[in-house]
Chains A and B, each alone.
Chain A
Amino acid sequence: MSHERQGATPARWGADLQTSLFAKGRAGRRATTMPAWRGDEVDVRLPADALRAAPADLPSLSELEVLRHYTLLSNLNHHIERGLYPLGSCTMKYNPRLNEKVAALSGFASLHPEQDEADLQGLLCALKLLQDALCEITGFAACSLQPAAGAHGEYLGMQVIRAHHLESGATGRTEVLIPDSAHGTNPASVVLTGLQPRMLKSGPDGKLDLDALRAAVGPQTAGIMITNPNTLGLFETDIVEVARIVHDAGGLLYMDGANLNAILGKAKPALMGFDVVHLNLHKTFSTPHGGGGPGAGPICVTEELARFLPPPLIREREGVYSLDACVGECRPSVHAYQGNTGVCLRALTYILRLGGDGLTRVSERAVLNANYLRKRLEGLLTVRHAEGTLHEFIATGSDWKDLYGVRTLDIAKRMLDYGIHAPTIYFPLIVDEAIMIEPTETESKETLDRFVAVVAAIRAEAEHDPDLLRTAPHTTPVSRLDEAAAARRPDLSWLGPCNCG
């Protein structure tokens, strides 16, 4: 099959950089004003030693100036409604607009966290529905929606595992095994819980090495953290045996659910032998990434571990919902309230829209897209561990480096010129010049074909004009930035006076 060149030309960006907000504006100009006070005059004075010497210097702008500034800034961003976002391990799927409409409903958005249950019946019903759905999807018995992000879920999961061992008097169980292909957050989450991570080398096939595992477990083992499918996009086929080894040694199994999009409806973490899993609602369940957050990282656990989940618990009796504060129990808590509730409501909306059948189609089409793309890229990019690809795959730029003297970074930067976001690069660390590609199920065959055509075009460029890649991108609002200068002499805030533009 030939690589269609249709649309495979660099795209002009057409947006300009903006001067800082702090250089705009003029003293005396106003946007938001406060509601007038129509009551009696009262003494509002505060002691002089409580007051700041001078008000904060902030810019003065009209409402239209503010909107123009941020609209023009927004034009400098790539985003999912603009083009493909094949970021491996990030699951950049379409974020349905319905989710946003639901989360913005005043009956949800205007609730204060200190209101009584009677005012929250619809909310508590929704959150219980979500907990039950996540338990069905993962095969577990109980769910906490409190973690505000994936790493936050890892942290709570480790706290739960730690609490389990402490309660059973196993104070010596402080070691958590982590495969070398793990997400960077895994070791950090373990350390912050007061446990020690121990790296476990993957086998040559990219999967867990059972002999290495058997040698590593012991009375010091608190547990193991496994991403499944792993960061190479491969299912840990020995997972049931892995679980037996770890459980026999007295440890628990934690699953990083970042890659759940590959197995929705096809496999359940509880059936694999895991005890705890965290889910990334901002990956698998279509909530938007927001330029860095907010996400949500709920955890699901076995019946046995349910008693270590943060309070309050949502209870339902004859259609009436209540919050059980679990008074007198010693449970961890990782958020002032119940986490990123608004994100949870978006995820529930998505789950209701898709249904059980639709969620299963999600993983099928995500895996079909990844495999199709991998196959079509044959001859253009070398794929590592191609056998058993699920929702994502790892290519390497190492042969382009040898042939044309361009690095993975250069390939990724050149993709930006074609209106495609770069894939995840240089991760996982165990693959040289890694390029990690995850197309997701919401991309069409035509979009995937265009991606292949773009890679073919870039390869031709690498062959004939490698400098074009080394100096890419060329059509974006800025070219490569001097990150070394930024880190050597950090300029982290605007220091000049306002309204002097």
Chain B
Amino acid sequence: MPYTPHTAEDIREMLDVLGLESVDDLFRTLPAAVRPPAGLDLPSSLSEEEVWRVMSNLAALNAGQDELVSFLGGGVYDAAIPAAVDAVVSRSEFLTAYTPYQPEVSQGTLQVIYEWQTFITRLTGLPVANASMYDGSTALVEGIRMALGRTGRDAVVLPAALNPRHRRVLETNLASEGVTILTAAASPAGTTDPVALRAVLDGKVGAVVIQNPNHLGLIEPVAALAAAAREVGALLVASVNPVSLSLLKSPAEYGAAVATGEAQPFGVPCGWGGPLLGFLSCADDLKRLIPGRVVGRTVDHDGREGYVLTLQTREQHIRREKATSNICSNQGLNMARGTVYLALLGAEGLRELGAANRVRCEALRVILRGIAGVTLPFAGPVFNEFVVRLPRPAREFRAFAREQGILAGIPLDGFAGCGVGDLLVAVTERRTANEIERYGSVLRDFLETC
């Protein structure tokens, strides 16, 4: 049998030690009623080569972003992954290690987590970060819980232009905890209206969420939103695209108490949306409310520097029913991907990454502005993603472009005042000038074929 070393002789010897006749004697405590009479109705064991054939044939039936030219985003982006990232995380030392509960034999994993925490704190400007969350949506849930826990309040304001997939997860989580969810409307410019935010704020609101850039790709008026939150004593919880932090104001600079987001573009494959890499960071006075694993630097009994899991009393295995989060397993290996990725980029590489996204995004916007009937409905600044408004249904263009090998974007019909012609388009560093040109020509062809 695959993966087990037992020979018939081994089994005989082991049963002899136990004084048993057969392996089935070991299961005698299982009542007959719970035992499947005919075993498992699944196909028989296959060789590695046969399984490889089945699975690679299934993979071949898909068409992903290596094969197609992708302009899809909305939280997950077609970002380039350096080969060195895969090389590091395929090492068994990182791949197959357990959670570092025995620090003496886990310094590798622990130091990587400490380095990840450092990278995230440097990007967000907030002094504390944890070892990762499942994804951007659950990271935001936990960030809101922290803000509500600190303020002792039970209402949260979400922006209208919040990632709808994140909103859905927030609703599941917060509604059952009895949290009131309010919404701050977007202005006609597509960004959160500080006046509309003020209109829903009162002393019951403990957390004001902003997403920057928002789900329309627009950079939010963060200073005005932060000021409004501060006036009522609510904490600002920011959900940010970490790639944008190469250029954009850090959450700490505009007064966020918690910053969360999806760090998938830092070396993690899109993988149909999982496993991803949620991150969470916070102000110093919230550190004892932060969920999940946190690593600290300390010394061993011989004075050598080393790393340990710390602030463990926050965690579910100690606080049990008083815990404010139940997270146990996180996205450890993807966090290692993110750490190696940022180590490879360095400050200069990160700056270039931001610039590479910016130039490609603006180049496509220039092309689209030049196509008759096509508009960019929101005038405000963007990072690497934006809305284009077509004179015909965006879904039809998406299907047309797919025929040409292009994944054109995400239709926004019904989202935050968007219509049937609106499409969310992302442009990453992987897109070439030719591919961007082609996006324009395919759109022209589409509009001419009506």
Among B26, B51, B111, B306, the residue within 8 A (CB) of A352 is B51
Q: Cβ of A403 < 8 Å from any Cβ of B?
A: no
Q: Cβ of B430 < 8 Å from any Cβ of A?
A: yes
Q: Cβ of A215 < 8 Å from any Cβ of B?
A: no
The interface stretch among A31-39, A298-306, A461-469 is: A31-39
* Cβ contact within 8 Å between B108 and A356: no
**Residues of A84-120 contacting chain B, CB below 8 A:** 85, 87, 90, 92-96, 98, 100-116, 118-120
Which of chain A's residues have a CB closer than 8 A to the CB of B41?
A: 136, 356
Q: Cβ of B230 < 8 Å from any Cβ of A?
A: no
Q: Cβ of A404 < 8 Å from any Cβ of B?
A: no
Q: Indicate whether A110 sits within 8 Å of B64 (C-beta atoms), given known contacts A49-B223, A187-B321.
A: yes
Which of A31, A58, A80, A360 has the most chain B CB within a 10 Å cutoff? Answer: A58
Q: Indicate whether A336 sits within 8 Å of B18 (C-beta atoms), given known contacts A148-B135, A478-B104.
A: no
Q: How many A-B residue pairs have C-beta atoms within 8 angstroms? Tell me.
A: 700
Complex: A421 Cα to B93 Cα, angstroms: 13
* Cβ contact within 8 Å between A110 and B306: no
* Cβ contact within 8 Å between A184 and B318: yes
Q: Mark B391-435, 1 if CB is under 8 A from A, else 0.
A: 000000011001000010010000000000000000001101100
* Cβ contact within 8 Å between B296 and A486: yes
Q: Cβ of B360 < 8 Å from any Cβ of A?
A: yes
Q: Cβ of B347 < 8 Å from any Cβ of A?
A: yes
The interface stretch among A2-10, A62-70, A245-253, A393-401 is: A62-70
Q: Indicate whether A240 sits within 8 Å of B329 (C-beta atoms), given known contacts A74-B93, A114-B72, A288-B95.
A: no
Chain A, residue nearest B77 (CB) = A112
* Cβ contact within 8 Å between A362 and B100: no
Complex: A479 Cα to B331 Cα, angstroms: 27
Chain A, residue nearest B219 (CB) = A50
* Cβ contact within 8 Å between B138 and A338: no
* Chain B min CB distance to A246 (Å): 16
Which of chain A's residues have a CB closer than 8 A to the CB of B308?
A: 481, 483, 486
* Cβ contact within 8 Å between B310 and A483: yes
Complex: A190 Cα to B362 Cα, angstroms: 48
Complex: A442 Cα to B3 Cα, angstroms: 6
* Cβ contact within 8 Å between A289 and B99: yes
Q: Mark B269-294, 1 if CB is under 8 A from A, else 0.
A: 11111111000000000010000011
* Cβ contact within 8 Å between B39 and A265: yes
Complex: A293 Cα to B359 Cα, angstroms: 35
Q: Mark B89-132, 1 if CB is under 8 A from A, else 0.
A: 11111111111101111111101111101110111000111011
Among A18, A293, A336, A482, the residue within 8 A (CB) of B329 is A293
Q: Cβ of B340 < 8 Å from any Cβ of A?
A: yes
Q: Indicate whether A356 sits within 8 Å of B111 (C-beta atoms), given known contacts A63-B84, A114-B74.
A: no
* Cβ contact within 8 Å between B331 and A294: yes
Q: Indicate whether A485 sits within 8 Å of B299 (C-beta atoms), given known contacts A44-B362, A101-B52.
A: yes
* Cβ contact within 8 Å between B121 and A493: yes
Q: Indicate whether A67 sits within 8 Å of B88 (C-beta atoms), given known contacts A292-B131, A493-B121.
A: yes
Q: Mark B201-227, 1 if CB is under 8 A from A, else 0.
A: 000000000000000000100010000
* Chain A min CB distance to B330 (Å): 4
Which of chain A's residues have a CB closer than 8 A to the CB of B114?
A: 20, 492-494
* Chain A min CB distance to B81 (Å): 9
Q: Indicate whether A291 sits within 8 Å of B100 (C-beta atoms), given known contacts A30-B349, A485-B299.
A: yes
Interface size class of B (residues with CB under 8 A): 35 or more
Q: Cβ of B372 < 8 Å from any Cβ of A?
A: no
Complex: A79 Cα to B107 Cα, angstroms: 12
Chain B, residue nearest A44 (CB) = B358
* Cβ contact within 8 Å between B346 and A29: yes
Q: Indicate whether A362 sits within 8 Å of B96 (C-beta atoms), given known contacts A102-B55, A485-B298.
A: no
Q: Cβ of A364 < 8 Å from any Cβ of B?
A: yes
Complex: A481 Cα to B297 Cα, angstroms: 10
* Cβ contact within 8 Å between A271 and B105: no
* Cβ contact within 8 Å between A31 and B55: no
* Chain B min CB distance to A145 (Å): 9
* Cβ contact within 8 Å between B56 and A188: no
Which of chain B's residues have a CB closer than 8 A to the CB of A103?
A: 271
Q: Cβ of A25 < 8 Å from any Cβ of B?
A: yes
* Cβ contact within 8 Å between B336 and A109: no
* Cβ contact within 8 Å between B82 and A333: no
* Cβ contact within 8 Å between A38 and B59: no
Q: Cβ of A22 < 8 Å from any Cβ of B?
A: yes
Q: Cβ of B241 < 8 Å from any Cβ of A?
A: no
* Cβ contact within 8 Å between B359 and A282: no
Which of chain B's residues have a CB closer than 8 A to the CB of A332?
A: 172
Q: Indicate whether A368 sits within 8 Å of B296 (C-beta atoms), given known contacts A50-B249, A335-B169.
A: no
Complex: A422 Cα to B99 Cα, angstroms: 12
Among A30, A78, A288, A353, the residue within 8 A (CB) of B45 is A353
* Cβ contact within 8 Å between A293 and B45: no
Which of chain B's residues have a CB closer than 8 A to the CB of A35?
A: 80, 356, 429-430, 432
Q: Mark B340-372, 1 if CB is under 8 A from A, else 0.
A: 111111111111110110111011001000000
Which of chain B's residues have a CB closer than 8 A to the CB of A121?
A: 61-62
Complex: A193 Cα to B100 Cα, angstroms: 28
Which of chain B's residues have a CB closer than 8 A to the CB of A98?
A: 48, 51-52
Q: Indicate whether A122 sits within 8 Å of B45 (C-beta atoms), given known contacts A148-B274, A492-B287.
A: no
* Cβ contact within 8 Å between A282 and B329: yes
* Chain A min CB distance to B386 (Å): 13
Chain B, residue nearest A367 (CB) = B26
Q: Cβ of A354 < 8 Å from any Cβ of B?
A: yes
Which of chain A's residues have a CB closer than 8 A to the CB of B340?
A: 66, 70
* Cβ contact within 8 Å between A294 and B60: no
* Cβ contact within 8 Å between B17 and A376: yes
**Residues of A296-352 contacting chain B, CB below 8 A:** 297, 332-343, 345, 348-349, 351-352
* Cβ contact within 8 Å between B64 and A109: yes
Complex: A362 Cα to B1 Cα, angstroms: 9
Chain B, residue nearest A109 (CB) = B269
Q: Mark B18-61, 1 if CB is under 8 A from A, else 0.
A: 10000110110111011110011111111010011011111111
* Cβ contact within 8 Å between B98 and A90: yes
Q: Mark A250-267, 1 if CB is under 8 A from B, else 0.
A: 000000000000011111
Among B13, B34, B82, B95, the residue within 8 A (CB) of A100 is B95
Q: Mark B250-271, 1 if CB is under 8 A from A, else 0.
A: 1001000000001000000111
* Cβ contact within 8 Å between B329 and A119: no
* Cβ contact within 8 Å between A360 and B39: yes
The interface stretch among B4-12, B150-158, B180-188 is: B4-12
Which of B30, B346, B360 has the most chain A CB within a 10 Å cutoff? Answer: B346
* Cβ contact within 8 Å between A32 and B344: yes
Which of chain A's residues have a CB closer than 8 A to the CB of B128?
A: 492-493
Q: Indicate whether A491 sits within 8 Å of B331 (C-beta atoms), given known contacts A354-B45, A478-B304.
A: no
Q: Cβ of A272 < 8 Å from any Cβ of B?
A: yes
Which of chain A's residues have a CB closer than 8 A to the CB of B271?
A: 103, 108-109, 111, 341-342
**Residues of B219-248 contacting chain A, CB below 8 A:** 219, 223, 245-248
Which of chain B's residues have a CB closer than 8 A to the CB of A61?
A: 343-344, 346
Which of A61, A111, A334, A359 has the most chain B CB within a 10 Å cutoff? Answer: A111
* Cβ contact within 8 Å between A116 and B402: yes
Besides A122-B62, A352-B55, 9 other CB < 8 A contacts? Answer: A57-B347, A60-B348, A149-B329, A237-B31, A294-B332, A334-B173, A421-B98, A479-B104, A492-B128
Q: Give 11 CB contacts A-B under 8 Å.
A: A20-B118, A125-B61, A162-B176, A191-B323, A291-B99, A291-B109, A292-B335, A349-B55, A353-B3, A375-B17, A492-B117
Q: Which 10 A-B pairs have the closest CB atoms?
A: A337-B273, A107-B59, A290-B333, A113-B273, A122-B61, A292-B332, A39-B433, A110-B64, A356-B42, A74-B93
